[in-house]
Homo-oligomer: A and B are copies of this chain.
Amino acid sequence: MAEEKKESIIASALKLFAEKGYHNTKVSDIVKDAGMAQGTFYLYFKSKEDLFRCVAERCLDEIAGALAQGAQEQNAACNPAPMRSMIRRILEIYYSNLTIVNIINQHGAASPEIADISKQFYARMAGQIKDILKHSNAYPGYTEEQLDMTSYAKIGLVEMAAYQWFVERRNGPERIDELTEVLLGINMNCGLNAEGSSGL
């Protein structure tokens, strides 16, 4: 039951942070939403900042965990289109976590500890993508650094698309497949056959 209370605080915080942002969410809002007294909050968290750390850690861990699990299942199955699966997985997971990921990135700017958590999260995700790139041998001759940049860039691509799709345009999960195909079809050097990515 102690865990229940803690979970209930985290759930309310997640909801409210996503709705109003970290700074516009008062501790009093959280406990009101969670249906408990203000003092109870401090039985489970040292401070509002401490709660945020927990929320961020758990949220990103969950996402990263889901991604990693998906990756394993695929490798086991000798997945013939790992990039497509990866994109679909990221989209699925982001679907229910986008605003909170944004909040975390926001608040990170002001709190080095959160910045670290978030940095590690992206590093993990980029690592998984880099693995796919290496196995597919799609970018022969690339340095590690260039593969890093490619991986991070792909994350950014999916994140931005997800934000537009789910948050701005309020689409539900039913068209994730279509979005996946659109993203998969993206080629940065579009329609310019006279010149390739010559320099690399």
Contact = CB atoms under 8 A, between A and B. Distances in A.
Interface of A: 20-24, 80-84, 87, 99, 102-103, 105-107, 109-110, 119, 132-133, 136-139, 142, 146, 148-150, 152-161, 163-165, 168, 177-179, 181-192, 194-200
**In the assembly, how many copies of this chain are there?**
4
A189 B155 contact: no
A184 to B, nearest CB: 5
B137 A149 contact: no
Contacts of A186: 150, 153-154, 186-188
A190 B160 contact: no
Contacts of A137: 191
B161 A153 contact: yes
A190 to B, nearest CB: 3
A129 B119 CA distance: 29
A94 B153 CA distance: 15
A170 to B, nearest CB: 13
A146 B133 CA distance: 25
B99 A103 contact: no
A161 B160 CA distance: 12
8 contacts: A24-B110, A83-B191, A102-B109, A138-B190, A152-B164, A156-B161, A156-B163, A187-B189
B183 A200 contact: no
A194 B198 CA distance: 24
Given A20-B110, A153-B158, A189 B194 contact: no
A188 B187 contact: yes
Contact of A188 (B80, B184, B191): B184
A24 to B, nearest CB: 4
A198 B149 CA distance: 27
A81 B190 CA distance: 9
A159 B133 CA distance: 20
Contacts of A21: 106-107, 109-110
